[in-house]
């Protein structure tokens, strides 16, 4: 398990064997991998289906993730994967 430390109030990313976990303030988000993309030049270590990221995990499941929050989450994920030399595919 790898944990990314972020300054300020941005998201904290934890990579596990089968998921990406995001902690941001008092909210949590778990992202499970999607199927590999058939036209990918090289297989990704993790594929994220952005259309599946719509709400936070319980107890905040009623709170939608805004476009602005999604952009920050995506940047944090990309940064963590890049730092570790892993490939993430965003679909």
- Distance (Å, whole) CA 70 – CA 73: 5
pLDDT tens-digit map of 7-62: 457 899 999 989 999 999 999 999 999 988 777 778 889 999 999 999 999 999 99
pLDDT tens-digit map of 47-70: 999 999 999 999 999 999 999 999
Cβ contacts of 21-26, under 8 Å, gap ≥ 24: 22/73, 22/76, 22/77, 24/69, 24/73, 26/60
The domain segmentation of the chain, as residue ranges, is 2-90
- Distance (Å, whole) CA 28 – CA 13: 10
Total-model pTM: 0.84
Q: 78 and 88 in contact (C-beta within 8 Å)?
A: yes
- Distance (Å, whole) CA 51 – CA 82: 22
pLDDT tens-digit map of 68-88: 999 999 999 999 999 999 999
């Amino acid at each position: 398990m790898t944990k990314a430390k972020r300054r300020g109030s941005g998201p904290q990313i934890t990579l596990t064997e089968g998921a990406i976990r995001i902690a941001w303030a008092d909210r949590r988000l778990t992202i499970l991998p999607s199927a590999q993309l058939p036209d990918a030049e090289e297989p990704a270590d993790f594929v994220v289906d952005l259309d599946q990221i719509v709400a936070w995990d319980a107890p905040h499941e009623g709170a939608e993730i805004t476009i602005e929050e999604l952009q920050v989450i995506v940047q944090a994920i990309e940064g963590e994967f890049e730092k570790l030399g892993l490939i993430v595919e965003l679909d």
